[in-house]
Amino acid sequence: MSMIGDEFDWVIHSGEAFTSGELQRCDLGIRNGRVAAIAERLEGGRQRFDAQGLWLLPGGVDAHVHIDQPPNPGSAARGAEMADNFESGTRSAAFGGTTTVLSFAPQFKGQSLQAALDEYHARANGNAYVDYGVHIIVSDPTPEVLEQELPTLMRQGCSSVKIYLTYEALRLSDRQVLDVLDVCRDAGLLTMVHAENLDCILWLTERLERAGLTTPEYHEASRPMLVEREATYRAISLAELIETPILIVHVSAREAIEVIAEARKRGLPIHAETCPQYLFLNSDDLQGAEGAKCMCSPPPRAKENAPFVWAGLNERSLSLVSSDHAPYRFDESGKLKYGPKASFKFIANGIPGLETRMPLMFSEGVMAGRFSLADFVELCCTAPAQLYGLYPKKGEIAVGADADVVAWDPKHKVRLTNALLHHNVDYTPYSGMDLTGWPMQVWVRGILTCDKGQLVVPRGGGQFLKRERSAVVPSPDALPKRRWVP
């Protein structure tokens, strides 16, 4: 049918929009930042965009990014500075087709959660191009944190926290994990878990150093698959005891995926993400003088591992794809803080990937036939919005949803180079990859933000998102009775 659209701020017409689970030729009418109409034909509109030949997809939701995160004074690589602040990080997100990012406010030892959150709001305020939310990293679960601060996070729009089973400055004991999970269960918070066994890593690292094996390639040797497998199993067991959902972040390896799949078969509310680095990088990329560029934790695995990660996505043992964007420059401010010959133990962990996440998954997932367009939208847009309390405002094109719309040219071919990207990092680990499909125009809440490689808005338009309860976290009246209570 045809509709008159003079009241629309934008009419995006003649494209194919992914809505109601499939691509269909239709026009989109945008008003006051939201999708106001989806129709066969819309006339008028204050501004019109001809999307002939383009696919109109929901804006990406990257649920795991590190932007403008202050260095932890207790970390081995203390002093290394992240290259992206909110201006550069969210700029690169927009150009990559991501219109919502969820970043981390870290609590350091002795610090309150509120202080960590206040500092992060100050860093972000007025600097973002896309919408953003905040996860809180809990590293010091004192009685005050557990009894007073964690229960209030939901009211502040932070519906998820992250805990670590590794890194000496961040690791929680099993007892502390149980305490945090218990409070999060009652407070309606989703707990994210970095699952690697710290004691195993330290033990292996000491022995590698004694043998003089300290170059970046030995980073992977210090964190073998079983270190991730054991911690994943332990995290799931602790969550099962508390009877609460958890989300295992950046799952890298076949063995951990098998543990997660088995838990899900038993009906446990376990969810997990993976990242492009575990699909497109491998342990060979850690070799040589520039191997530090690809160092992250968990590390890239052997080439034979990637098919198991693709299978985990297709079988939904893995629920979403995030970037784990952790941007360090390859110089003395970041990766080389302690010199070009420093032990891998002192090299900042993390790689840039916010801008490349969506194009990589579109090209090598959809266009390469590894999964469908519907899978791409679910893994990169809808599922993260649902898991982190943003749906249906974010994650799909539907009437009433935020008008976060990305016009993709499915035929546009690109050879990735760092010069093409908009982050503040001096390299991309995916340089030289040939991709098919690219985001050409990006609307954030109905505001055209990127247009054919040009930024067309000032910074500061991105808004803080007060998130609701995760779709997988039960409401208080639906919580199961604790079976371990007499």
In this structure, whether the domain defined by 60-367 belongs to CATH 3.40.50.300 is answered with no
In angstroms, the Cα distances linking 111 to 39, 91, 360 are 52, 30, 38
- Cα–Cα distance between 444 and 461 in angstroms, integer? 9
pLDDT digits (tens, 9 = 90+) for 280-327: 999 999 999 899 999 999 999 999 999 999 999 999 999 999 999 999
Residue-wise pLDDT tens digits, 218-235: 999 999 999 999 999 999
Domain segments of the chain as ranges:
2-58+396-455, 60-367
Over the chain, what is the mean pLDDT? 96
- The pLDDT value given to residue 483: 73
> What share of the chain has pLDDT > 70, as a percent?
98
- Domain 2-58+396-455: top CATH class: mainly beta
Distances in Å between the Cα of 191 and the Cα atoms of 24, 150, 238, 312, 421 are 37, 11, 12, 21, 32
The pLDDT of residue 2 is above 50? no
Contacts 24+ apart (CB under 8 A), 303-307: 305/252, 305/253, 305/254, 305/278, 306/278, 306/279, 306/280, 306/282
Mean pLDDT in residue range 407-425:
98
